[in-house]
Amino acid sequence: MITTPDNDNNFDGPMIFIIIGKGYESDASEGIDLHIMLKAPDDDTAVREALNALAEEGFIEADLDQIGMLTEIPAEEPHASAYQGAVEGEVAIIRFN
């Protein structure tokens, strides 16, 4: 996996993205609000890896609404541990029921 940015941004820490959206596990489901945190070299790669991770978790469809890069380490759970997992190379999916 590529871990260095492929753009002109000179960010000192790892590029950890957060993607906010809704995932659907079946055609009849209302959807589950999600926050997805992962390390990626750019936003296109982040979206692609997030969608792959959601598919592996059994989601058949997803509406991704927002993407951004985290500039500070989250202090509160569940985002703090999800951030740590993302730094270690995991794709962290936080579900809100």
Residue spans per domain, the chain: 16-96
Distance from chain centroid for Cα 46 = 7
- pLDDT 10s digits, 35-62: 999 999 999 999 999 999 999 999 999 9
Helix (H, G, I), strand (E, B) or coil at 61: strand
| Ordered per-residue pLDDT tens for the chain, 97 residues | 455 555 555 556 789 999 999 999 998 889 999 999 999 999 999 999 999 999 999 999 999 999 999 999 999 999 999 999 999 999 999 999 8
